[in-house]
């Protein structure tokens, strides 16, 4: 129903609400109005017996028509047919005669202005109602790397917005790496880069190198304490773990691994990839976002049940090295060139459990690229002590040598607007 048609109905209501109209019917066959309390405390109006439609009945009929038409216009925007209000039940055209079978009832004539080719332009007392026999074509999900869902996917239904919590499906490339140990135990994060591979930190997955069956990669997770979120998560086994040959556990140099999943990922709004950085990407000075379920403090911290997000500025390595030299690392500490630093603000940081998760940065083509992987730090959230990340751009050649895909597959291709 169009706004103009709704306005006509509302004017009819206004006329009926005038003092001289609200009166008892003069018909000897009219039945009294019986107010019946509903469970929520509101009143539901019943009319006993079937008499001719009084002005009071018209009042409630028109009110119902406005309410129903408004709700239907909002709910259905396509694949619907103009239908009399009484013949639209729960959003679908009645096909079994419900509400219609009554030989003593005079049905409203169908509006001659109705046009099934323009179903949203319905006349008075008609709504846009779904045809249960119609075949609806569902558009396939359009994959594009680095696509954030800022309002979440299908809306939040489990909790109200809490500062620092991500929306469900907001960062669809976030993976959780789980260990089979009398159930599934969370180990660290990961980052989905194509339909068969995630990247993560080597020091999280090196223990699984000879025990692939003990590791599970979960995609589409959000609230770790419920079995089903808005849309279900998906668990994958591991076919292969490829650790960088230059990885050193003692100093975490080259702390990166590519994990090949045991089957192909079907992309969905809440499960999709992040882009790899391009050669000309420079994230220094940019505020990027780290995500995961890590602890809120290094000592005695609490791990998050719902995925969290934290925004951190990327800083130059020379500045980061100076800051880190003022910690227990000492004045001679040299920051390895393949690291990247972000943060340095009090109580704003990635922390234990976030390892392997992405530091994602916004690009001008409206996509996100993974600039870093959470690797290590000195405590968490200490003023002027940034966190240290694997600089993913330094490893793109190695990554694609392991996945066997062309680099262009990992870059965002702008869609035509």
DSSP 374-407: EEE-SSSS-TT-EEEEEEGGGGHHHHHHHH---G
pLDDT tier for residue 105 given thresholds of 50, 70 and 90: very low
Contact 127, 108 (CB under 8 A): no
DSSP-based three-state secondary structure for 346: coil
Q: How far apart are CA 70 and CA 40, in angstroms?
A: 22
Q: Which of 201, 153, 212, 139 is nearest to 175 (CA)?
A: 201
Window from 148-152, 156-160, 356-360, 364-368 with minimum mean pLDDT: 156-160
Q: What is the pLDDT of residues 310-335, one digit of tens each?
A: 999 999 999 999 999 999 999 999 99
Q: How far apart are CA 34 and CA 61, in angstroms?
A: 15
Q: How far apart are CA 64 and CA 274, in angstroms?
A: 48
Per-residue burial over 213-245, b if 16 or more Cβ lie within 10 Å, else e, is: eebbbbbbbbbbeeeebbbebbebebeebbbbe
User: Max Cα separation, the chain?
Assistant: 102
Mean pLDDT on 198-211: 95
Q: What is the pLDDT of residues 43-61, one digit of tens each?
A: 333 333 344 444 444 444 4
């Amino acid at each position: 129903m169009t706004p103009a048609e709704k306005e006509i109905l509302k004017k009819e209501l206004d006329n009926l609400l005038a003092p001289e109209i609200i009166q008892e019917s003069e018909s000897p066959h009219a039945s009294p109005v019986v107010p019946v309390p509903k469970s929520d405390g509101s009143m539901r109006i019943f009319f006993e017996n079937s008499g001719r439609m009084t002005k009071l009945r018209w009042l409630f009929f028109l009110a119902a028509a406005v309410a129903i038409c408004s709700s239907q216009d909002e709910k259905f925007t396509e694949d619907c047919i103009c239908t009399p209000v009484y013949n639209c039940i729960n959003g679908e055209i009645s096909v079994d005669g419900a509400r219609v079978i009554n030989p003593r009832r005079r049905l409203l004539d169908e509006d001659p202005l109705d046009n099934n080719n323009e179903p949203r332009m319905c006349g008075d007392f008609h709504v846009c109602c779904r045809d249960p026999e119609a075949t609806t074509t569902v558009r396939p999900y359009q994959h594009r790397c680095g696509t954030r869902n800022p309002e979440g996917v299908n809306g939040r239904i489990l909790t109200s917005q809490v500062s620092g919590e991500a929306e469900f499906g907001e960062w669809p490339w976030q993976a959780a790496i789980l260990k089979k140990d009398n159930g599934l135990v969370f180990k660290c994060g990961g980052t989905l880069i194509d339909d068969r591979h995630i990247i993560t930190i080597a020091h999280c997955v090196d223990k699984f190198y000879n025990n692939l069956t003990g590791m599970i990669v979960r995609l589409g997770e959000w609230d770790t304490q419920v079995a089903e979120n808005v849309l279900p998560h998906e668990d994958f086994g591991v076919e292969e773990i490829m650790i960088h040959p230059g990885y050193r556990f003692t100093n975490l140099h080259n702390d990166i691994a590519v994990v090949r999943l045991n089957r192909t990922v079907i992309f969905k709004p809440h499960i999709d990839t992040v882009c790899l950085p391009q050669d000309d990407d420079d994230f220094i000075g940019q505020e990027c976002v780290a995500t995961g379920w890590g602890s809120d403090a290094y000592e005695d911290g609490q791990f998050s049940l719902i995925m969290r997000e934290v925004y951190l500025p990327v800083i130059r390595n020379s500045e980061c090295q100076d800051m880190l030299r003022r910690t227990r690392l000492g004045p001679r500490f040299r920051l390895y060139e393949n690291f990247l630093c972000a943060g340095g603000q009090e109580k704003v940081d990635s922390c234990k459990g976030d390892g392997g998760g992405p530091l994602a940065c916004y690009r001008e083509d409206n996509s996100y690229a993974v600039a870093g992987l959470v690797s290590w730090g000195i405590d968490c959230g200490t003023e002027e002590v940034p966190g240290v990340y694997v600089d993913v751009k330094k490893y793109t050649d190695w990554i694609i040598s392991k996945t066997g895909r062309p680099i262009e597959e990992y870059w965002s291709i702008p869609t035509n607007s």
